[in-house]
Amino acid sequence: MTNLVPLLTSRMDFSYNQFMVFSADLDLAELAMDWTQEHVDQGFARRKSIVSFSTITQYGQADLNVYLARFEDTASYQRVIAVPFYSPIARVVICGPEEVGSEHFLTVETGYYRLIEAQKLLQPHEYTGDLGHIAVDLYFELVEKPLETSQIIVCDSMLSPPRDLLEYAELY
């Protein structure tokens, strides 16, 4: 794999085992998705222009790197999930649930993407092992036609996905 230069590098706070990626044109009411047990088991809940990914630790910070590139390296990650994503405007937001007001913004082409989320644990909390420091790498792969299905590329022990992944989440 060539050495890619991230389009965005930042530190992200996450909580409640999740962070979100969404089109900046969505209203606040459109961000609250209803996670069913099946969504928890598969590690994500999504709609057309928003996805909420489950993290490998409940609370903590993530070293966030975002690439506009094809994902190739599965060996160094504990969890890798690919989902269809549509960006109707050229601005995408990435944030943890409690980061409203300090989100991370990204400029991308409008269009359809294969969005790959790759995680690995960098440092567990010294006492609980839960509040951790993780790496989250996001890869936006522009595709010609909208994708229909998500894919779990690397499945860690915390996931127990259904055979047919849930491709849509209701609003909360």
pLDDT, tens only, 46-92: 999 999 999 998 888 899 999 999 998 878 899 999 999 999 999 99
> What is the SS3 string spanning 10-71?
EEEEEECCEEEEEECCCCHHHCCECCCHHHHHHCEEEECCEEEEECCCCCEEEEEEEECCCC
pTM: 0.93
Which residues, at least 6 apart from 78, have a Cβ–Cβ distance to it below 8 Å? 56, 119, 120, 121, 154, 156
Average pLDDT over residues 33-37: 95
- Band the pLDDT of 1: cuts 50, 70, 90: very low
Q: Give the C-alpha separation, 87 to 149, whole Å.
A: 17
For the chain, domain boundaries = 8-27+37-154
Share of the chain above pLDDT 70, in %: 94
Whether pLDDT at 119 is above 90 = yes
Average pLDDT over residues 116-143: 82
Whether pLDDT at 133 is above 90 = no
* Whether CATH 3.30.499.10 fits 8-27+37-154: no
Question: Which of the two residues, 101 and 53, has the higher pLDDT score?
Answer: 53
Whether pLDDT at 45 is above 90 = yes
Longest alpha-carbon distance in the chain: 47
